[in-house]
């Protein structure tokens, strides 16, 4: 191909002193003016400002510019700005090219080297932009429905917000009930609201909402497509009970051949027992029982009398032959609200969890205190005694090199809550061992003061050891009290470990499934910590709640609302503009070797046997370039990344 | 007057000359239509005969082989002066060919290997080829052996290329016919289709949409099925990267394509392209496993640059010291 000639304008931004403080912008402008094709070259304090953009527009009109090069910051920030400016002046936006002389240059180099590098980058851009071709954006409609993954308080709140705004929502929860961690608590800090009283109405609202399809005991297994048009496959695990027929009378549970509950009860952290046919907790939503095939006699031997089936009678809701089903849904946006998992306390051997029966995790105590819990809300030790003294250890598995470095943000506060509740229910002496007391939320410090006034003892020191006293078998907490400057050993009846929050065990798989990023710790990564806190780097996928990082319920709900608003905003734009940097097959020379077909991460390429060529679906292509690099006969090209453009850029940078 | 043709060979194996002979009965048609004024393999003309011809008097010179010696360079330049069209005939002339793999070593290592170190060499005096040699009062001039092998186009301007190791008689016949009828394409063209070989491969329908190769096999390591895509059998077939036009003759012989027809016009580096596309077909996402799979490919340079090292952007193991 012969080199096109074009009238090029070059604009160099000072970015205040960000660029001009390091790079000699005047010299750069003079250099730019000497490059072939350059008609005007200017420098300006802030190119992205209105007057800066006006410079470009005026020159397009006055000098008939055919190409524009802006040397400024990262295209991530302002490519859109300058393309739009060109478009407004009647120039196709894709004839505008940005050179990053800030992040790639002035911020990382100094002295003459910085200006020299800017010259190379600019020369490369001027050479490449001559080859740019006008491109058209494509627009596709956005599907008016949202998938919410995870039915904790985050997912519940997001789903309800969207549904109330008239959007169709699919809520997918992998447990048999929604509610998440919050459903386990009795009271919530700092207001001591009854968790069930505020949560269960929302749970029922989800179930009853005409705009919400609730699928519990279900998991997302496949995600295809892109913002505005995701295709999601959901596996609905068999619960051996037909959801539409079960009325939640629970007569089957009563009738089970096991007269007494006998098996580990997950919801109650194993403190209680359940039968093979069960409901996780009385207010579970949906009010539908589940059969656990691992413990049900019928599943294990096929020889059960099936008294449950008899009890269900005409309702015929129990179906031992139920199979899993795979549903496919199409949604415009996705909100991930998969929450957290509590730190496994047995990872810290010197606290004796799992060794000494009277060492509990906070979640266990939440269940013990809960009126619907295994003890009906009585806080008793495993032997049925009421504890007379209780030690609460803060920061278990948090803020520690050996476990997790982060602060889990809620443990100080829920430890105060538990201290209050324990004292209220048992009258016991309560000792809170903390490293720092972190109470930065609204009404948090006041709550701390209140609990202190109630007579809870606060000891500032990290507990080094928990061990049984030789005399009476009570548990001794040993810690250095850093305020007194001495080691203290305090015997108690019960130890509560305030375990921190961790990413879900399967966070990495979930991240891959949805093609989003994780921080190194495993929390899902927001697009920008300040300005895009619920967006991800994948358009159309948003985050809510603890899957993004530890937080309390108020923050979770606020974030869920924000995620819902972002999703709504996206849906309400109606259609979405797709970047035109897509790949295309040169059909007349494609050999049909199929190398590209299986490589596209977005399944955008199909093979047309009748023509013996590959074909790129432009709506699916994300412009990743994989196929372009792989096509062994170079029969796929990519808009905006044409060979000539790239080679000219390489030649320019090396010249 | 019949148009004049010349054939010449440089650093080549002689296979390309065979391709001319392989025209078989067609050779007579060619001979009837043209005057062959120079063809050292078959006809007794001397260099001086060519030198005596007026510049531009030959219609087309078909030169095969790469350029390794001073004599080859001189002959190429001479024929360039005398011929209106120069055709790089065969892979060695086009991109350096198998002799070009010598560019992985310098001249000294090559001479040392051949004249001293090879087990079959008996050369106690350490005699080496020298451009000037005098014995018994007689002086002998030998061509200089350059440090590097070059493709013809790196020595003289070339008008057309006919790919292949060797080219097929059909391509030669087509080229001569185009010459005679004045229907040659734009200068610079490669006189073969610009698609890859899979297109004309008789096995293409058996090639799966998604290949996931977990083991590369060499032809002697497996019983090769005769009707299934070779790549799908784990044989390293370079057909997807190689220009069509050979009528898939290796595949018809149940052997994988080694890429002698070179790249399509859109590819700048045959070896890199072939390598990256083959590497993308491994059936694993695990780095260690991918390395294990790729380790099954013997001699990567010799495999992927078998015919094109001198013409590649990275043309050898060491920097090209002035080409000589
Ligand atoms: C002991 C303890 C006490 C606490 N007390 C308080 C308190 O008093 N006040 C307060 O404000 N905060 C408290 N918190 C914090 C509170 O638990 C969280 O802020 C809140 O639960 C976060 O809600 P979430 O919806 O983000 O996550 P979760 O409650 O963890 O819910 C996530 C949901 O997603 C589901 N899920 C996960 N992965 C998938 C998947 N792949 N597919 C489908 N579904 C999935 C889970 O089953 C779960 O139902 C406490 C925390 C702890 C550990
Ligand atoms: S550039 Fe190619 S591989 Fe990448 S998304 Fe587009 S079609 Fe798929
Ligand atoms: S890799 Fe290239 S030649 Fe092969 S099918 Fe895809 S586009 Fe066609
Ligand atoms: S890879 Fe080889 S064997 Fe398979 S279709 Fe292509 S040329 Fe034929
Ligand atoms: S199949 Fe490949 S190696 Fe064999 S002749 Fe054809 S191009 Fe050359």
- Each residue of A155-199: pLDDT tens digit? 999 999 999 999 999 999 999 999 999 999 999 999 999 999 999
Predicted confidence (pLDDT) per residue in A4-28, tens digit: 789 999 999 999 999 999 999 999 9
Whether residues B48 and B168 share a domain: the answer is: yes
Say how many domains are in chain B.
2
Residue A649 located in a structural domain: no
Q: How far is A190 from chain B (nearest CA, A)?
A: 48
Residue A162 Cα, ligand 5 centroid: separation in angstroms? Answer: 61
Residues B24 and B71 in one domain: yes
Last residue of a domain, one of A288, A323, A358: A323
Residues B165 and B207 grouped into a single domain: no
**CA dist A457 to A12, A423, A433, A630, B191, Å?**
64, 11, 9, 67, 92
Q: Quote the minimal CA–CA distance from A221 to chain B in Å.
A: 19
Of A622, A638, A641, A535, the C-alpha closest to A579 is A622
Distance between CA atoms of B101 and B98, rounded to whole angstroms? 6
Tell me: do A432 and A498 sit in the same domain: yes
Sign of CA dihedral B34, B35, B39, B41: positive
- Residue A645 falls inside a structural domain: no
pLDDT 10s digits, B190-246: 999 999 999 999 999 999 999 999 999 999 999 999 999 999 999 999 999 999 999
Residue where one domain finishes, among candidates A526, A543, A575: A575
Q: Are residues A424 and A471 in the same domain?
A: yes
Report ipTM (2 d.p.): 0.91
Q: Chain A residue closest to B267 (CA)?
A: A634
Pairing of the two strands B67-69 and B145-150:
antiparallel
Residues A332 and A384 in one domain: no
pLDDT band at B324 (very low <50, low <70, confident <90, very high): very low
Based on the fold, state whether residues A129 and A158 are members of the same structural domain: no
Instruction: State how far the alpha carbon of A388 is from the alpha carbons of A203, A368, A385, A434, A465, in Å.
Output: 37, 16, 9, 21, 20
C-alpha of residue B244 to centroid of ligand 5, in Å: 8
A632 with B241: Cβ contact below 8 A? yes
Residue A246 has pLDDT above 80, yes or no: yes
Confidence of residue A579 (pLDDT cuts 50, 70, 90): confident
Mean pLDDT of A203-210: 98
pLDDT tens readout for residues A309-339: 999 999 999 999 999 999 999 999 999 999 9
A648 within domain boundaries: no
* B162 and B271 assigned to the same domain: no
Provide the residue range defining the domain that includes A302: 251-323
Same domain, yes or no: B83 and B57: yes
Confirm whether A650 is domain-assigned.
no
Cβ proximity of A391 and A488 under 8 Å = no
Assign residue A84 the CATH number of its domain.
3.40.50.960
pLDDT of A2: 66
Residue B300 shares a structural domain with residue B175: no
pLDDT of A1 above 80: no
Q: Let me know if residue A653 belongs to a domain.
A: no
Residues B153 and B82 in one domain: yes
B252 to A229, A266, B202, B226, B255: CA distances (angstroms): 46, 65, 8, 8, 7
Task: Provide the pLDDT for residue B318.
Answer: 62
Residue B108 lies in a domain: no
Regarding whether A548 and A607 lie in a shared domain, the answer is: no
- Closest-CA distance, A629 to chain B, in angstroms, reads 8
Same domain, A188 and A334: yes
**Nearest residue on chain B to A606, alpha-carbon basis:** B209
| Shared domain check, A465 and A361 | yes
Mutate to test the interface with A, among B240, B243, B245 (most CBs of A within 10 A): B240
Atom of ligand 5 nearest to the CA of B242: 7
Q: What is the overall mean pLDDT for chain B?
A: 92
- Closest residue in A to B195 (Cα–Cα): A589
* Whole-prediction pTM: 0.68
Three-state secondary structure of A477-515: EEEEECCCCEEEEEEECEEEEEECEEECCCHHHHHHHHC
How far is Cα A406 from Cα A521, in angstroms, rounded to an integer? 9
Pocket test for ligand 4, best of A593, A632, A635 (most atoms within 8 A of CB): A593
Which domain, by its residues, includes B81? 4-98+147-181
Q: Is residue B198 within 6 Å of ligand 4 at its C-beta?
A: yes
State mean pLDDT over B83-105: 97
CATH of the domain at A619: 3.30.70.20
Range of weakest confidence among A400-404, A476-480, A632-636, B42-46: B42-46
Structure tokens at A556: 């979770």
CA of A534 to the centre of ligand 1 (A): 17
In whole angstroms, what is the distance from residue A1 CA to residue A408 CA?
60
CB contact under 8 Å between A643 and B266, yes or no, is: yes
Burial class (CB in 10 A: 0-12, 13-18, 19+), B24: exposed
Give the C-alpha separation, A187 to A179, whole Å: 14
pLDDT surpassing 80 at residue B320: no
Least confident of A14-23, A147-156, A386-395, A593-602: A593-602
Per CB-CB distance under 8 Å, the chain B contacts of A630 are 276-277, 280
Phi-psi region of B126 (alpha: psi -120 to 50; beta: other; left: phi over 0): left
In 3D space, the residue among A526, A512, A463 whose CA is nearest the CA of residue A492 turns out to be: A463
Atom number of ligand 3 nearest to Cα B196: 3
Burial class (CB in 10 A: 0-12, 13-18, 19+), B217: middle
Whether B212 and B93 map to the same domain: the answer is no
Q: A508 in contact with B at a CB cutoff of 8 Å?
A: no
Q: Is B23's pLDDT higher than 90?
A: no
Q: Which of residues 252-291 of B touch A (CB under 8 A)?
A: 263-264, 266-268, 273-274, 276-278, 280-281
Q: B52 and B159: one domain?
A: yes
Model pLDDT, residue B29: 79
Q: How far is the CA of A16 from the centre of ligand 2 (A)?
A: 39
Ligand 2 neighbours (beta carbon < 6 A):
A 582-583, 599-600, 602, 604-605, 616, 621-628, 638
**pLDDT beyond 50 at A370:** yes
If we measure between CA atoms, which residue out of B26, B37, B25 comes closest to residue B1?
B37
> Residues 524-583, chain A: which have Cβ within 8 Å of B?
none
**Is A1 a member of any domain?**
no
Q: At what angle do helices A553-572 and A153-164 cross, to 10 degrees?
A: 40
Q: Is residue A3 part of a domain?
A: no
Question: Which residue's alpha carbon is nearest to atom 6 within ligand 3?
Answer: A596
Q: Do the Cβ atoms of A232 and A222 come closer than 8 Å?
A: yes
Tokens of A610: 């009748």
Contacts of residue A78, defined as CB under 8 A and 6 or more positions apart, other chains included, come to A47, A48, A70, A72, A98
For residue B178, what is the enclosing H or E element? helix B169-181
CB-based contact A460:A435 (threshold 8 Å): yes
How would you list the strands of the sheet with A389-396, edge to edge? A359-361, A494-499, A389-396, A429-434, A457-460
Q: Does the residue B158 lie in any domain? A: yes
A631 part of contact set with chain B, CB < 8 Å: yes
Task: Return the residue in B193, B206, B236, B241 with the most chain A beta carbons within 10 A, the one to mutate for interface testing.
Answer: B241
* Residue A356: CATH number of its domain: 3.50.50.60
What's chain A's average pLDDT? Answer: 95
Shortest Cα–Cα distance, B266 to chain A (Å): 6
Cβ atoms of A64 and A8 within 8 Å: the answer is no
Q: Is residue B128 over pLDDT 60? A: yes
Q: A-chain residues within 8 Å CB-CB of B274?
A: 632
Q: For Cα atoms B286, A521, A396, give the angle at the middle one, nearest 5 degrees.
A: 135
**Residue in B closest to A631 by C-alpha:** B277
Is A643's CB within 8 Å of B211's CB?
no
| Inter-CA distances, A598 with A225, B109, B231, B271, Å | 16, 44, 14, 22
A357 and A466 both lie in a single domain = yes
Task: Look at residue B25 and tell me whether its pLDDT is greater than 80.
Answer: no
Same domain membership, residue B274 and residue B201:
yes
Q: Is it the case that residue B322 has pLDDT exceeding 70?
A: no
Q: Is B207 in the pocket of ligand 4 (CB under 6 A)?
A: yes
Asked whether residue B322 is assigned to any structural domain, the reply reads no
Instruction: Give the residues surrounding ligand 5 with Cβ less than 6 Å away.
Output: B 164-165, 197, 242, 246, 248-251, 257-261
| Ligand 4 centroid distance, CA of B311 (Å) | 25
Final residue belonging to a domain, choices A294, A323, A352: A323
Verify that A171 and A113 share a domain, yes or no.
no
Same domain, B281 and B306: yes
Q: Which tokens sit at B137?
A: 């009062």
Q: List, as ranges, residues 603-622 from A with C-beta within 8 Å of B.
A: 607, 612
Provide the token pair at A247.
Answer: 């009325």
Closest residue to A607, CB basis, from B209, B212, B278: B209
| A383 shares its domain with A463 | yes
Domain count across chain A: 5
Please give the average per-residue pLDDT across A549-563, as a whole number.
Answer: 98
pLDDT at B6: 95
Contact A607, A616 (CB under 8 A): no
In a domain, B119, yes or no: no
Q: Are residues B247 and B159 in the same domain?
A: no
Q: Is residue A620 a part of any domain in this protein?
A: yes
Q: DSSP alpha helices (H): ranges in A176-287?
A: 195-208, 251-255
Q: How far apart are CA A558 and CA A573, in angstroms?
A: 23
- Flag whether residue B246 sits within 8 Å of chain A, measured between CB atoms: no
Asked whether A559 and A534 are in contact (CB, 8 A), the reply is yes
DSSP B213: B
Say yes or no: A498 and A550 in one domain. Answer: no
Using most ligand atoms within 8 A of CB, pick from A147, A148, A149, A150 the residue to mutate for ligand 1: A150
pLDDT for the residue B315: 82
**Do residues A37 and A132 both lie within one domain?**
yes
Query: Quick one: how far is CA B14 from the chain centroid?
Result: 11
CA distance B244 to chain A (A): 9
Instruction: Answer yes or no: is pLDDT of A531 > 60.
Output: yes
């Amino acid at each position: 191909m012969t080199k096109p000639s074009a009238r090029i304008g070059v604009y160099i931004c000072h970015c205040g002193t960000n660029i001009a403080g390091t790079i000699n912008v005047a010299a750069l402008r003079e250099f730019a003016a000497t490059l072939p094709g350059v008609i005007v070259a200017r420098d300006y304090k802030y190119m992205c400002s209105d007057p800066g953009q006006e410079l470009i527009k005026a020159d397009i009109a006055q000098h008939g510019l055919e190409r524009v090069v802006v040397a400024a910051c990262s295209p991530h920030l302002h490519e859109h700005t300058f393309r739009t400016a060109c478009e407004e002046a009647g120039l196709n936006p894709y004839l505008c090219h940005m050179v990053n002389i800030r992040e790639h240059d002035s911020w990382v180099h100094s002295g003459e080297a910085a200006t020299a590098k800017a010259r190379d980058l600019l020369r490369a851009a001027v050479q490449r932009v001559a080859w740019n071709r006008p491109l058209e954006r494509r627009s596709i409609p956005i599907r008016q429905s949202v998938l919410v993954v995870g039915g904790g308080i985050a997912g519940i709140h997001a789903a309800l917000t969207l549904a109330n705004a008239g959007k169709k929502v699919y809520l997918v929860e992998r447990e048999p009930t929604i509610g998440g961690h919050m459903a386990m608590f009795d009271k919530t800090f700092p207001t001591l609201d009854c968790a069930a009283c505020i949560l269960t109405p929302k749970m029922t609202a989800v179930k009853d909402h005409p705009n919400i399809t609730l699928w519990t005991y279900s998991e997302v297994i496949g995600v295809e497509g892109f913002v505005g048009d995701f295709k999601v496959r959901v596996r609905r695990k068999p619960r051996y009970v037909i959801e539409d027929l079960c009325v939640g009378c629970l007569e089957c549970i009563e009738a089970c051949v096991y007269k007494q509950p006998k098996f580990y009860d997950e919801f109650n952290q194993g403190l209680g027992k359940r039968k093979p046919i069960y409901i996780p907790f009385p207010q579970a939503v949906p009010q539908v029982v589940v059969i656990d095939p691992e413990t049900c006699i019928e599943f294990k031997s096929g020889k059960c009398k099936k008294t449950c089936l008899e009890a269900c009678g005409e309702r015929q809701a129990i179906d031992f032959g139920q199979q899993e089903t795979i549903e496919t849904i199409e949604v415009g946006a996705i909100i991930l609200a998969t929450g957290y998992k509590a730190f496994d306390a047995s990872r810290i051997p010197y606290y004796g969890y799992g060794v000494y029966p009277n060492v509990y995790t906070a979640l266990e105590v939440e269940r013990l205190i809960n009126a619907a819990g295994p003890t009906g809300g009585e806080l008793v030790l495993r032997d049925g005694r009421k504890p007379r003294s209780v030690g609460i250890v803060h920061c278990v598995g948090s803020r520690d090199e050996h476990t997790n470095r982060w602060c889990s943000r809620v443990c100080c506060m829920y430890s105060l809550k538990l201290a209050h509740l324990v004292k209220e229910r048992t009258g016991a002496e309560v000792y809170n061992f903390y490293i720092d007391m972190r109470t930065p939320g609204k009404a948090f410090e006041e709550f701390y003061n209140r609990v202190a006034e109630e007579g809870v003892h606060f000891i500032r020191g990290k507990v080094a050891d928990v061990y049984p006293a030789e005399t009476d078998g009570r548990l001794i907490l040993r810690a250095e009290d850093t305020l007194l400057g001495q080691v203290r050993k305090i015997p108690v009846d019960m130890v509560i470990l305030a375990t921190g929050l961790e990413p879900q065990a399967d966070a990495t798989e979930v991240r891959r499934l949805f093609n989003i990023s994780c921080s190194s710790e495993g929390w899902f990564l927001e697009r920008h910590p300040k300005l895009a806190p619920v967006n991800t780097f994948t358009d159309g996928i948003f985050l809510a709640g603890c899957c993004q990082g530890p937080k309390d319920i108020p923050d979770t709900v606020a974030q869920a609302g924000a995620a819902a608003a972002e999703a709504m905003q996206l849906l309400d734009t109606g259609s979405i503009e797709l970047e035109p940097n897509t790949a295309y097959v040169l059909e007349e020379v494609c050999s049909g070797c199929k190398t590209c077909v299986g490589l596209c991460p977005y399944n955008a390429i199909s093979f047309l046997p009748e023509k013996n060529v590959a074909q790129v679906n432009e709506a699916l292509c994300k412009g990743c370039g994989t196929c372009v690099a792989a096509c062994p006969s170079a029969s796929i090209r990519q808009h905006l990344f044409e060979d000539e453009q790239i080679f000219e850029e390489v030649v320019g940078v090396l010249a | 007057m019949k148009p004049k043709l010349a054939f010449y060979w440089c650093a080549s194996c002689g296979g390309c000359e065979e391709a001319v002979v392989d025209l078989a009965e067609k050779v007579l048609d060619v001979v009837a239509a043209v005057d062959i004024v120079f063809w050292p393999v078959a006809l007794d003309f001397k260099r001086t005969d060519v030198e005596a011809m007026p510049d531009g008097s030959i219609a087309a010179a078909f030169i095969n082989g790469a350029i390794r010696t001073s004599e080859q360079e001189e002959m190429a330049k001479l024929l360039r002066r005398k011929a209106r069209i120069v055709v790089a005939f065969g892979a060695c002339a086009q991109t350096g060919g198998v002799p070009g793999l010598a560019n992985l070593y310098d001249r000294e290592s090559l001479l040392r290997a051949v004249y001293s170190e090879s087990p079959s060499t008996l050369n106690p005096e350490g005699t080496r080829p020298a451009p000037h040699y005098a014995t018994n009062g007689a002086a002998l001039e030998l061509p200089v052996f350059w440090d590097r092998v070059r493709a013809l186009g790196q020595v003289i301007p070339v008008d057309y290329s006919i790919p292949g190791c060797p080219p097929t008689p059909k391509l030669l016949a087509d080229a001569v016919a185009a010459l005679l009828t004045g229907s040659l394409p734009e200068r610079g063209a490669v006189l073969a289709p610009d698609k890859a070989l899979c297109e004309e491969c008789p096995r293409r329908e058996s090639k799966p949409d998604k290949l996931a190769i977990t083991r590369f096999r060499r032809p002697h390591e497996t019983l090769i099925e005769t009707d299934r895509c070779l790549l799908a059998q784990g044989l390293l077939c370079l057909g997807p990267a190689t220009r069509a036009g050979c009528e898939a003759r290796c595949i018809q012989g149940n052997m994988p394509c080694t890429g002698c027809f070179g790249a399509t016009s859109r590819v700048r580096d045959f070896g890199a392209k072939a390598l990256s596309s083959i590497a993308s077909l491994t059936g694993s996402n695990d780095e260690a496993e991918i390395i294990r799979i790729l380790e099954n490919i013997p001699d990567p340079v010799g495999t992927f640059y078998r015919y094109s090292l001198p013409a590649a952007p990275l043309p050898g193991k060491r920097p090209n010291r002035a080409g000589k």
